[in-house]
Amino acid sequence: MATLLIADHDNTLINDATRKALSAAQQMGGSVQVLVAGHEAQRAAEAASRLDGVEKILLADAVFYGHGLAEPVADLIVALAPSFDAIVAPSTAFGKNILPRVAALLDVMQVSDVIRVLAPDTFERPIYAGNALQTVQVIDAKKVLTIRTASFDAAADGSAAPIELLSDRGDTGISTFVEETVVKSTRPELSSAKTIVSGGRALGSPEHFTQFIEPVADALGAAMGASRAAVDAGYAPNDWQVGQTGKVVAPDLYVAVGISGAIQHLAGMKDSKVIVAINKDPDAPIFQIADYGLVGDLFEIMPELQKALNASAS
């Protein structure tokens, strides 16, 4: 069993999602090599080489690999595929974009969002927004998998593996990168944060997110999230969306503020260790899955909570 793990990175760092996908890849048994496709990505390759238990890093460096464009990256992976039994990527925007393209080029049916590895060819994955779990066995000889990162622990660093420089496979010329607006934040990344404070439509405005969610998130050292309703209303950026079609998270502590708890939202956070719900509606569905529920006006509770947290920290 030889597995190729596709690294999600920013040309400098390997993200946590990749570490979690590595844990899943290692559960399948056999060796794992990591592909770092990027531009001036030597540092990312070096970071990948320190991942615990990886056999080798394959570095492909070219301008057109710099922004994770699906077309050239998929061609590169397909060229490497004959040496591997499985191709694995984290279920991030990057992985979800590229891997099905690879699977189709290899004439393989992909297994999306693996949450459990039961055997090297048998996996569990959620369907219907996590309201059902399906166990599937792959009939294709080659496995192509994306890994739901909230379900696996992040692999730690170990001894350094060798880095092999690959020649690029050329650009396809059918897609070009124009620009990217990525917000750099000092907060923990939403999908790997230990604590998350999320706001819903009840917040009412982007200013209220800043005024009522952010201070509590600061006090907890937490990432900030949002319900789809809040994102659609423009109160929070789209990559904050937690839910079936947004990010799926499983922090130690999830604080849902003014979120009623539609099944699509619950699908994105119900595996959190401890859930706190703050809502003025005592019948809100979120209370049915919350460990601790506080009924009341969030605009009064949140400042009070911030004070209490700061007091208990000092």
193-212 residues in contact with other proteins (CB under 8 A) are 195
Q: Which residue has the tokens 């719900």?
A: 277
Stretch that binds other proteins, among 53-61, 129-137, 152-160, 201-209 (CB under 8 A): 129-137
CA torsion, ordered 245, 239, 196, 235, to nearest 10 deg: -100
Per-residue string for binding with other proteins, 37-56, x by CB under 8 A?
--------------------
CA atoms of 187 and 210, how far apart (whole Å): 14
Q: Which is nearer to other proteins, 158 or 234 (CB)?
A: 234
Instruction: Give yes or no for residue 186 binding other proteins (CB under 8 A).
Output: no
Q: Which is nearer to other proteins, 51 or 103 (CB)?
A: 103
Of 291, 247, 254, which is closest to residue 272 (Cα–Cα)? 254
CB 284 within 8 A of CB 260: yes
- Measured between its terminal Cα atoms, the distance across the chain in Å is 52
Stretch that binds other proteins, among 38-46, 135-143, 162-170, 201-209 (CB under 8 A): 135-143
Residue choice 122, 167, 205, 210 for contact with other proteins (CB under 8 A): 122
Stretch that binds other proteins, among 28-36, 42-50, 86-94, 157-165 (CB under 8 A): 86-94
Instruction: Give yes or no for residue 85 binding other proteins (CB under 8 A).
Output: no
CA atoms of 43 and 49, how far apart (whole Å): 10
Q: Which is nearer to other proteins, 161 or 230 (CB)?
A: 230
Residue choice 46, 52, 85, 140 for contact with other proteins (CB under 8 A): 140
Those residues whose C-beta lies under 8 Å from the C-beta of residue 198, and which sit 6 or more positions away, are 213, 224, 225, 226, 227, 240, 242, 254, 255, 256, 257, 259, 269
Interface with other proteins in residues 158-177 (CB under 8 A):
172-177
